[in-house]
Amino acid sequence: MADIAPDPTPTDYPPRVSDARPDPRPTPLAPATVAVTAGRPPRVQGGPVNPAVVLSSTYVSAGVPGPGELVYARSGTETWRDLEAALGALEGSTRPALVFASGMAAIAAALALVPRGGRVVAPRHAYQVTLGLLAELASLGDLQVDLVDIADTDAVAAALVTAPDRGAAALLWVESPTNPMLEVADTPALVAAAHAAGALVVVDNTFATPLVARPLAHGADVVVHSVTKYLAGHSDVVLGAALSDDEALHTRLLDHRTVHGAIAGPWEAWLALRGLRTVALRVERAQANAAELARRLATHPCVAEVRHPSLPDDPGHERAARLMTGFGAIVAIRPVGGPAAADAVVAAVRLWLPATSLGGVESSLERRRRFSTESAGVPEDLLRLSVGIEDVEDLWADLDAALRGAGAPRRDAAD
């Protein structure tokens, strides 16, 4: 089948009037300020503070489109532009983000950068649908996949180099912290090793968010997000994004989106931008709640294991403290009593929401191995807690009661 040429729309949108003005400040704005100010309409007398939602599939166009000219909404719209500008600024990118219909659409576009038959090195513990897509592409012969412990830098570096029966890796996929095991990668070291081996690096930054980590600053080639999660933050949109400072990669991602049609709706883009305005406050509160809950859970008589990078004895603590500006708002626990106790906790909570997904203002939890597609390395009894912005004492009271009602305490635990 012949290749389908993308619609003739320029790669980048032209700058807005407000974006084009010289910046008199001697230092860049803090991420919390960028989240509030980026992607705004021009500041003119009588002008709106927020961008409008434009509902149009088609734009007036005659002849060869000029730079920045909109032609058809599958290729680009002004409603995407504001969100893309804000996401790009928040990640510290030299280019606007590209929004996609979902996080998986952005992930699929990033994996499409791998040449046919190329080898991908990826975390053994990662978002289950990412692992599922990798397995599907491998079964079709589109690529090869090697799964590694992403926290073991030496093992990852060894997997990247040419093996006797397998070529050098074409792409390294990174999650940090990983979903749901919360392993923390040494991203700068992994980027250096991957580039030395001739591989691209894609980082899924959904868990950390740009408030906690900026992988492009560590040399990553592409960053992807499920905007559905913390960036939009209100469990009311499904959206994804991909970013790259490299012009050629940015163009390839854009062309993939245009040809495959994995595009965002205007309302979703507008809602995500509105949610983004409070991301710094939400992440700050959620992280503080998560750290406090993790501290208490670490000595809870009905909890066998807790993972959160804020804990001084957590395997990822030193690395997270060195490379990140926070510890994230996801906590993983294993209740005493195994899978039955984990299911009992989920059934007993009244404030925590039993649900998949994460990053909303509400706190939620789930037993991840209830999905048959979850990595076999994830314990059957592991509960992933997405900590929200409620009062921490209310969250603790609900979770503590559910844990105590779910099973017997540890033998070594004090009353």
Bridge-based pairing state of the strands 222-226 and 200-204 = parallel
Tokens of 67: 């730079």
DSSP single-letter state for residue 54: P
H and E: helices and strands count for the chain? 13, 12
Q: Judge contact between 40 and 18, C-beta under 8 A.
A: yes
222-226 and 240-243: which strand pairing?
A: antiparallel
Residue of 16, 74, 295, 296 marked active site? 74
Rounded alpha-carbon distances, angstroms, from residue 322 to 186, 230, 306? 9, 22, 21
Q: Which is it for the CA torsion 178, 364, 285, 336, positive or negative?
A: negative
6 touches 75 (CB < 8 A):
yes
- Where does residue 136 rank: exposed (0-12), middle (13-18), buried (19+ CB within 10 A)? exposed
Name the residue among 329, 330, 293, 92 with its Cα closest to residue 210. 92
Active site residue 229: yes
Looking at 40, 81, 127, 307, which residue is catalytic?
Answer: 127
127 classed as catalytic: yes
Tell me which of 149, 186, 204, 221 is the catalytic residue: 204
Active-site hit among 81, 214, 229, 334? 229
> What is the rounded end-to-end Cα distance, in angstroms, of the chain?
70
What are the phi and psi torsion angles at 197 (to 5°)?
-90, 0
Strand-strand pairing, 364-367 and 383-386: antiparallel
What are the DSSP calls for 353-370, one per residue? EE-S---SSS-EEEEGGG
Q: Which residues are catalytic?
A: 74, 127, 204, 229
